[in-house]
Amino acid sequence: MKPYEVLLRENKQWAADKIEADPDFFNRLSTLQTPEFLWIGCSDSRVPANEITNTQPGEIFVHRNIANLVIHTDVNLLSVLDYAVVHLKVKHVIVCGHYGCGGIKAAMSNNNYSQVLNMWLRNIKDVYRHNREELDTISDEKLRADRLTELSVVEQVQRLAKTSIIQKAWKQRNAPDLHGWVYGLKDGLINPVYEMKANADIDPLYIYDDL
């Protein structure tokens, strides 16, 4: 049996198990999804949103990219954010990074990756530069990467608050709250490092007045 055929076999077993535990499971989900959460996570295979939060299909709307970045020109991310916030009306948006992130390590190195990866990782280098004073005091490279991971998550959450999508939702329905979390590959635990409740203060320069 080829590796991908194992996936298909396991899928059949999974579907059967689900129906056995809850005969209406697929009927219910096929007609409606009402997730309370949007998850913006790293593409890393070791950080599956549903599994580490013990949630089921239907509970979390998910976007993942390398190092869980919020880039204001990323049509993919903005489409997901718009749909989740405006149409699904999620109550929480979670940016979840993880310690030991390859994207963070790569951004801290001087390696020349492909042009497109260089472009992507440069966003993390900018976070480093904005926090150089604090980061340069940490001599242990691993601890420095861990701290950069936390600081990056804070930056990504703040970027969410700079979008008109979030600001409009805050004005209209006082939601969603924004959360910055970091997951530990070594212990499986999530460290909540930052939070912006709906209508939290943001730099006035970024506030839109005609929402």
The yes or no reply on residue 106 touching Co ion (CB under 5 A) is: no
Closest distance to Co ion from the beta carbon of 96 (Å): 10
Q: Are strands 60-65 and 190-196 parallel, antiparallel or unpaired?
A: unpaired
**Residues 99, 183: contact at Cβ < 8 Å?**
yes
Q: Total residues contacting Co ion (rule CB under 5 A)? A: 4
Alpha-carbon distance of 163 to 20, in angstroms, equals 43
The yes or no reply on residue 95 touching Co ion (CB under 5 A) is: no
Site string for Co ion, 31-50 (x = CB under 5 A): -----------x-x------
96 flagged as catalytic: no
What is the residue-wise DSSP string for 1-67?
A: --HHHHHHHHHHHHHHHHHHH-TTHHHHHHH----SEEEEEE--TT--HHHHTT--TTSEEEEEETT
28 flagged as catalytic: no
Task: Classify residue 188 by its DSSP letter.
Answer: -
Q: Is the dihedral of CA 24, 7, 77, 142 positive or negative?
A: positive
98 flagged as catalytic: yes
- Kindly name the residue from 63, 96, 101, 146 that is annotated as catalytic: 101
By C-beta, is 152 or 167 nearer to Co ion? 152
By C-beta, is 123 or 167 nearer to Co ion? 123
By C-beta, is 152 or 163 nearer to Co ion? 152
The interface region with Co ion, picked from 99-107, 126-134, 161-169, 202-210 by CB under 5 A, is: 99-107
Closest distance to Co ion from the beta carbon of 103 (Å): 5
